[in-house]
């Protein structure tokens, strides 16, 4: 049974999983067991065939996630005798292999939506950038302030120019200044801006639309997009995966439904 003092709350709504970060007194910073709980949630989501879309958000309307828990990092640095942020990172890197959600290194090809309900900073921002879609509330702010602490946004810098334009990505990383929701939207970093307190509801609506597609259609296309970036066009197109994979029954049923329902607005 889930306790309200769990650092990560999860809720099921049909085939949608809603994971809510719950460390409000620490602005949902990644510490106190939250990173471990998130890793577990991502793996469970990946491996559960009953769940098609995941929404990630934070409690309340103050913070989505403020990043690594620096207070906890500081304690750990003392423990290790690390003299700099980099030394701490180096020391932490030697721990067990981390599930890096942001880089899809554990093969998560199901759609994930970030419902950004408040401050979304540093590692929190990177987590949101690692999601496929971002829905942001208009009071929320997003940024990569690592530069101000002599650190780097390592999980996101490789991807920033795919998420927005190169110069704007550099501006974000080099100034460390947070962006308003409207500015993030203008830069293409978020898909939608919605009123305060409504990002989860809107994310659920979008998730339900996603769930109308067959799950193998979704994983196929997400994978295709990621495989097609950073390689020459010829190479991207020479990868001959086909869809659907041998499933003629489902394919034909889909055609029949398609023929019956048509596409929106046509015929008109």
The answer to the question of residue 231 lying near other proteins (CB under 8 A) is yes
Q: Which of the 8 DSSP states describes residue 190?
A: S
Nearest to 183 by CA among 154, 143, 126: 143
**Count of C-beta atoms within a 10 Å radius of residue 193:** 21
Please report how close the Cβ of residue 171 comes to other proteins at its closest, in angstroms. 15
Tell whether residue 224 is a contact of other proteins (CB under 8 A): yes
What is the residue whose two structure tokens read 């596409």? 263
Q: Counting contacts by CB under 8 A, is residue 258 touching other proteins?
A: yes
Selection from 54, 21, 61 nearest residue 198 by Cα: 61
Exactly one of 36, 50, 146, 201 is catalytic; name it.
146
* Residue pair 89/77 in contact by the 8 Å Cβ criterion: no
Q: Is 36 annotated in the active site? A: no
Q: Which of residues 32-91 bind other proteins (CB under 8 A)?
A: none
> Tokens 């003092």, residue?
5
- Residue numbers 188-207 binding other proteins by CB under 8 A: 188-191, 206
Query: Is 43 or 237 the residue whose CB approaches other proteins more closely?
Result: 237
User: At its nearest, how many Å lie between other proteins and the CB of residue 86?
Assistant: 27
Rounded to a whole number of angstroms, the minimum distance from the CB of residue 52 to other proteins is 11
Q: Judged by CB under 8 A, which of 67, 111, 118, 124 binds other proteins?
A: 111
Name the residue nearer to other proteins (CB basis): 72 or 191: 191
Which positions from 121 to 140 touch other proteins by CB under 8 A, shown as an x/- string? Answer: -----------xxx------
- Rounded Cα distance, 144 and 159, in Å: 13
Half-sphere exposure of residue 10: CA atoms within 13 angstroms, side-chain side: 17
Helical H runs in the chain? 34-47, 70-80, 85-93, 122-130, 160-163, 166-175, 181-186, 199-211, 215-228, 233-238, 248-261
Query: Which range touches other proteins (CB under 8 A), out of 77-85, 91-99, 117-125, 162-170?
Result: 162-170
Nearest to 216 by CA among 132, 105, 109, 112: 109
Nearer to other proteins, 84 or 104 (CB): 104
Q: Is 146 a catalytic residue?
A: yes
Q: Looking at residues 172 to 191 of the shown chain, list those that interact with other proteins (rule: CB under 8 A).
A: 188-191
107 binds other proteins (CB under 8 A): no
Note whether 198 and 217 are within 8 A (CB). no
Residues tagged active-site: 126, 146
Residues contributing to the site for other proteins (CB under 8 A): 111, 132-134, 159, 162-164, 188-191, 206, 209-210, 212-214, 216-218, 220-222, 224-225, 228-237, 241-244, 247-248, 250-252, 254-259, 261, 263-267
């Amino acid at each position: 049974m889930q306790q309200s003092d769990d650092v990560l709350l999860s809720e099921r709504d049909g085939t949608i999983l809603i994971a809510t970060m719950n460390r409000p007194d620490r602005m949902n910073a990644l510490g106190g067991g939250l990173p471990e709980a998130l890793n577990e949630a991502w793996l469970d989501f990946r491996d559960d065939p009953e769940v098609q879309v995941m929404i990630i958000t934070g409690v309340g309307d103050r913070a989505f996630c403020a990043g690594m828990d620096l207070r906890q990092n500081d304690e750990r640095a003392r423990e290790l005798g690390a003299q700099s942020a980099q030394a701490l990172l180096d020391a932490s890197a030697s721990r067990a292999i981390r599930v890096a959600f942001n880089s899809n290194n554990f093969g998560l090809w199901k759609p994930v939506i970030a419902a950004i309900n408040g401050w979304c900073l540093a590692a929190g921002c990177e987590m949101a950038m690692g999601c496929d879609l971002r829905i942001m509330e208009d009071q929320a702010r997003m940024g990569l302030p690592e530069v101000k602490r002599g650190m780097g946004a390592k999980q996101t810098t490789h991807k920033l120019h795919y998420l927005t334009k190169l110069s704007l990505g550099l501006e974000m990383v080099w100034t460390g200044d947070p962006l308003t929701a409207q500015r993030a939207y203008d830069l293409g970093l978020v898909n939608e801006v919605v009123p305060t307190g409504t990002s989860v509801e809107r994310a659920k609506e979008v998730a339900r639309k996603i769930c109308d597609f067959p799950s193998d259609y979704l994983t196929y296309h997400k994978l295709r997009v990621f495989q097609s970036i950073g390689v020459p066009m010829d190479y991207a197109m020479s990868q001959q995966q086909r869809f659907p994979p041998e499933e003629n029954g489902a394919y034909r049923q889909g055609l029949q439904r398609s023929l019956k329902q048509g596409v929106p607005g046509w015929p008109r």
